[in-house]
Chain A
Amino acid sequence: MKQTEESLSRLYLDAFVDGELAAGERAQALARLETDATFKAEACELRTLKERVKGAYAEIPVLPARAHRRFRFGAAQALAAGVLLVVGIGTGWLVRDFGAAGPTFDRLAGLPAGYQAIALSEAIDRDKIILHLDSGESGRLSKVLDLADKLLAQQPGARIEVVVNSYGLNLLRADVTPLAGRIEGMARRYANLSFVACGQTVARLKRDGVKVELLPVAHTATSAINEIMTRMGQGWVYVKV
């Protein structure tokens, strides 16, 4: 019982200090501050606690992060992608729904239901497609290959780039992927299919002491985001797997 009262009292104190009490209750609490020294001390302590939490994140590491990594890897492509990202986001990606453009564009040939294709601008090449994978689930790993197969069956001339980051990198890690043979076979079969690993993810794993060995067919981009934004800027269509 005492514990319940204490809990209620804590909830009340939290609500007061967080500004969640209704006007009447708040007035009562303010009056109580004048008469109840314990309540006042607790309110004061809670305000201090709030300030400590907030203050701990007033200055946080300045994005070591995207800008730093870009320039550290030094690729002109990365710089271009960064500029594109800023320009793209800042000055206006296309302002209308593609569905409204007419039936010609509302399907991506070979794309099964359940997937959403996204384009950055109206000037797209429907036969240039990025398949993005950031999950390491074994079902997803094979799904991305199934999808590439399907799209290429429908559009033999299409260019497809499988971009992996985070746990999706497992797809292209020679010592981890269960699909090495299939990937290498597909790469041999389709000259227009490429596999790109995120340089950031690779660098992060290496920093953590993980030995990362990619399949010979894999290329490495500065980062998956850069690669995706660069490709989308060039009119590629993006599909998250």
Chain B
Amino acid sequence: MLKLFSLLNLPLRRRIEALRPRLYRLAYSWCHDAALADDLAQEALIKALARGEQLRDQQALNGWLFSILNNCWRDHLRARREFTDVDDLDDAIVDDAPSPEQRYASRQTIQRVRLAIAALPLGQRQVVTLVDIEECGYAEVAAILGVPVGTVMSRLARARQALRQHFMTERTQDEQPLAANRAALRRVK
């Protein structure tokens, strides 16, 4: 069937476009690769503009766009990692480790936090970034990721516990060689 980017009134299009920086930021917090984050944000934006008429409640625009971004991200990961099981995706720790230069820069606080986030399993990473960066409610996150609210809460708790431990370990082993961090970022099943 031939279909046009359709029925999108101008204000809605503008609202969708205005969310591009947030899509990019969120995508970056998931993949820590600026070029990929840009591609993901762009792809989500194009899909949103093409599917605008599917949006029933314009108040839910942010969540709807984030959920499209989530699908783009998962499609990318499936293509890249050949995951077939969504549970595998959620639990996977993907080696999104920064380059050696970036690891050196990770002495800086911001890089340290990003490194810790990058080390989280994907499911936890998405939940904690949606809650803390985008300030989404638990129910909203559940709808975006298509998981039960209980799962959102448990992933969030585990993510935060992991972050606490990460920072605690960091404080006590501050002078450990950076290679130690590398091992923590290897993908595990």
Q: Do A and B come from one complex?
A: yes
Contact residues in A for B45 (Cβ distance below 8 Å): 89
Asked if A54 meets B133 with Cβ closer than 8 Å, knowing A49-B163, A61-B34, A89-B17, the reply is: yes
A60 to B167, CA, bound (A): 21
A96, B6: Cβ atoms closer than 8 Å: yes
Listed residue (A96, A106, A118) with the most chain B CB atoms within 10 angstroms of its CB: A118
**Of residues 1 to 22 in B, which have CB atoms within 8 Å of A's CB atoms?**
1-10, 13-14, 17
Q: What CA separation (Å) do A95 and B53 show in the bound complex?
A: 10
Q: How far is the CB of B26 from chain A (nearest CB, A)?
A: 8
Which of A11-19, A30-38, A143-151 faces chain B? Answer: A11-19
Encoded as 1 (CB less than 8 Å from any A CB) or 0, chain B from 48 to 82 comes to 01100100000000000000000000001001100
Q: Is the CB of B42 within 8 A of A225?
A: yes
Q: Are the CB atoms of B28 and A46 closer together than 8 Å?
A: no
Of the candidate stretches A62-70, A154-162, A183-191, A213-221, the one touching chain B is: A62-70
B residues 100-138 near A (Cβ < 8 Å) are 109-110, 113-114, 117, 128-129, 131-133, 137-138
Are A53 and B128 in contact, with the CB atoms below 8 A? yes
Number of interface residues of B (CB under 8 A): 52
Contact mask for chain A residues 101-135; partner B; CB cutoff 8 A; 1 contact, 0 none: 00001111000000011111110101000000011
CB of B8 within 8 A of CB of A107, answer no
Specify which chain B residues have a CB less than 8 angstroms from the CB of A90 in the assembled complex: 13-14, 17
- The smallest beta-carbon distance between B65 and chain A, in angstroms, is 14
B2 touches A117 (CB 8 A): yes
- Which of B1, B9, B29, B157 has a CB less than 8 Å from the CB of A11? B157
Q: Which of B25, B76, B137 contacts A57 (CB 8 A)?
A: B25
Q: Which residue of A lies closest to B9 (CB)?
A: A95
**B interface residue numbers (CB < 8 A to A):** 1-10, 13-14, 17, 24-25, 28-29, 34-35, 37-39, 42, 45-46, 49-50, 53, 76, 79-80, 109-110, 113-114, 117, 128-129, 131-133, 137-138, 153-154, 156-157, 160-161, 163-164, 167
Closest 3 pairs (CB-CB, A-B): A56-B113, A65-B38, A61-B34
| Interface residues in chain A, defined as those with a beta carbon under 8 Å from any beta carbon in chain B | 7, 10-11, 14-15, 18-20, 45-46, 49-50, 52-57, 59-61, 63-66, 69, 89-99, 105-108, 116-122, 124, 126, 134-137, 166-167, 200, 204, 225, 237
